Amino acid sequence: MKRISRILLLVSVLTGLAGLGILSPAASAQAQSIVRDLNTPRTFPEIKTRAEWEERAAEIREQILVSCGLWPLPDKSPLNPYIFDRIERDGYSVEKVYIQTHPGFYLAGNLYRPLGRGRGPFPGVLNPHGHWSNGRMADSQEGSVAARCINFARQGMVAFTYDMVGYNDTQFAGSPTNRPFYETHRQFGTNRTDQLWNISLMGLQTWNTIRALDFLASLPDVDQKRLACTGASGGGTQTFLLGAIDDRLAALAPAVMVSHTMQGGCSCENAPGLRVKYSNMEIAAAAAPVPQILVAATGDWTRATMEVEGPAIQSIYRLFDAGDRLRFVKFDFGHNYNQTSREAVYGWFGQWLLGLPPADSLKEAPYTKEPDAALRVFPDGKLPYDALTKEQFLESWKQLQRGQWQRLLPRSQGGLERFKRTYLPAWRHTLQVEWPRSQVQVRVKEFGQDADWMATELTVTRAGETQAVSAVVFRRKPVLSTSGSRLVIVADGDGTDGLVGYNREPVGFAAKLVRRGHAVVVVRSFSTGETADQFSNFYTTYNRTKVQARVRDLLAICAAAKGLDFGGQRGTVLCGRGAAGPWTLLAAPGADAVVADGNAVDAMMDERLLGPDVFVPGLRVIGSFEGPAMLAAPQPLLLHNTGNSFPTEGIQSAYRAAGTGRKPRIESGRLSDDALVDWITRF
């Protein structure tokens, strides 16, 4: 017991959670994580050092890109910009623009430039719009895109405003023309299978924003060192997302969107996995120390900015000794980007982009918006001849992702290293796991023995959480250390009745392992029960799916097991049976060896990967069940019961590339328990 008690340690960093009892399987099965949604209040983490934040900010950036289907970042195809129909007014000009953000997809907008101020270069300001009914044409008391673009140009800046998907001129070929823009807008990324590819409206719009910045930066009259972005509502979301993932911005101004409560109510503001760990506050803070102004309103979800969001984000800026680079203001209006709010941004951009004194406040000059027809890029709705339909675009994007995967398939040791550098972060963020920094606490309780075996209960909890993974460890008595002795973690998707007897003794497969000298960790219950509907109310943006939760639990058990010594076992083996077999394969990077039952899953058809026991958003992007196994190469791997629709060519390629001579054992049929025990003993 001294040896065991010494391992009430954590594998990474021990955090005390005193008073935890042992959860029975029944109690754990009833345990449910709180289902969060876009309105669940969020708290800002306690960050003590700049280094701590920089590490977290890097994780936030990766999560945004993975969630938006932009990891690895797609190759940037030529924009082929077309700028035409210049109109000159007092102090500014306005032109029509369209660019190709992806071959066959056209992003349209208007470009406003200064007149009478020389040739520049001038600061460049992106202007994504929000969910006003007429998009970038909005011109009301509550918000006017034209007003800020005209005034930016008159102040000496180049302003580019562009459409959300489905608004005004930015449509797919064949899109209906008789629906409101907001409805057309939300028709992209609606198939459940899209989530397997991390295809979402938010992802497409974020890519459009990156490419819009590429366009703005490419203009000869724009200073690439003085780029900025501002927008309100959904445009505010695009603003702080861009600030988090693109280091080219010199200033940003998200309006009425950075909140600790409502995180965004449109599909263009939600992507799988994005806010499981992070909130809009943290995403906005990831831009630090770039100068940023938060504009809030008393009449919407940003009403607490002066007390909550602003001070939280300011705490991060102060870690950079840049407290003066964040400003937050609140005005007594409803949800808006009105003249008062715009003038706050004019003053901020004047300071950081034009070099004006902080006290100087730029006021909005009277303006006249051009008629919609004069601003429309495709007023007759006729797109260029090669414009893609929505279905063609979806297939084109999937082909792009398949091409990225094929290019990175390892064919040498160097190729395997490159593969892992790219896909290990993708795996972590797709599965929503903390590996390798699993912070766990292990509670141990001896509860049974006879002449042949000893049993110990384990309860594993993660730092800051109360829900636990419950397991029982069986080992021989007396404990004998042999050269083939392993610590085998066994998870069974159909329950553990066939592994633990009535008197809590090892039976079946577990008993066979114990008799061969192995210590066996039988997972009795996971930290959560069945999940809610995983396809409603942006569930996957804020919550882990059942499979993600199971993989995270298996990695926690692996982390705990690496600190346990029940008699000199050599390495941990993660063994999944039935439905738990694919989960085990997804957790492969966290174990020393893996035995996985493929459970005859049909991994060829997207529709077959939507069931609760296999569904993981982004699964296709990381190579389905192959990718995680490839990341574990060349660790010992036995994969059986794959059936006829479970690709394994990538696994074979990774093991060949490792150059160790070790090969995975892959069997299409189900192996017997005796065969599995023999392999575990002899590998």
Q: Tell me: the pLDDT tens digits for 474-514?
A: 988 765 555 668 999 999 986 666 788 877 789 999 999 99
Cα 275 to Cα 40, 208, 443: the distances in Å are 11, 21, 30
What pLDDT does residue 504 have? 79
List, in sequence order, every beta strand (DSSP E) within 365-507. Answer: 440-449, 453-462, 468-476, 487-492
Phi first, then psi, for residue 59 (nearest 5°) are -65, -40
Question: How do beta strands 572-577 and 593-597 pair?
Answer: parallel
Q: How far apart are CA 404 and CA 443, in angstroms?
A: 44
Contact 557, 521 (CB under 8 A): yes
What pLDDT does residue 479 have? 56
Reference 297, options 252, 266, 265, 342; nearest CA is 342
Token pair recorded at residue 198: 């991390």
Contact 71, 425 (CB under 8 A): yes
What pLDDT does residue 116 have? 95
Strand partners, 91: none
185 torsion bin: left (phi>0), alpha (psi -120 to 50), beta (else): alpha
Residues (pLDDT < 70) of the chain are 1-33, 448, 451, 478-484, 494-497, 566-569
Contact 653, 410 (CB under 8 A): yes
Reference 211, options 106, 83, 58; nearest CA is 106
Domain regions of the chain by residue span: 67-400, 429-682
Cα 561 to Cα 400, 488, 521, 556, 580: the distances in Å are 40, 9, 8, 9, 18
What pLDDT does residue 436 have? 83
Instruction: Name the amino acid, one letter, at 408.
Output: L
Strand partners, 102: 105
Contact 334, 299 (CB under 8 A): yes
* DSSP 8-state assignment for residue 56: H
Token pair recorded at residue 640: 């059986």
Cα 352 to Cα 137, 157, 329, 349, 619: the distances in Å are 27, 12, 17, 5, 42
What pLDDT does residue 502 have? 79
Which pTM value belongs to this model? 0.94
Pick the CATH number of 429-682 from 3.40.640.10, 2.40.50.140, 3.40.50.1820, 3.40.50.2000: 3.40.50.1820
What pLDDT does residue 463 have? 87
CA-CA-CA-CA dihedral for 607, 608, 609, 614, to nearest 10: 150
What pLDDT does residue 230 have? 98
Contact 380, 170 (CB under 8 A): no
Q: Is 571 helix (H, G, I), strand (E, B) or coil?
A: coil
Token pair recorded at residue 128: 């994504």
Q: How far apart are CA 262 and CA 39, in angstroms?
A: 4
Token pair recorded at residue 99: 């660019």
Give the number of other CB atoms < 10 A from CB of residue 513. 27
Question: How do beta strands 453-462 and 222-232 pair?
Answer: unpaired
Pick the CATH number of 67-400 from 3.40.50.1820, 3.40.470.10, 3.30.56.10, 2.60.120.10: 3.40.50.1820
Instruction: Name the amino acid, one letter, at 380.
Output: D
Q: How far apart are CA 590 and CA 194, in angstroms?
A: 28
596 torsion bin: left (phi>0), alpha (psi -120 to 50), beta (else): beta
Q: How far apart are CA 356 and CA 348, in angstroms?
A: 9
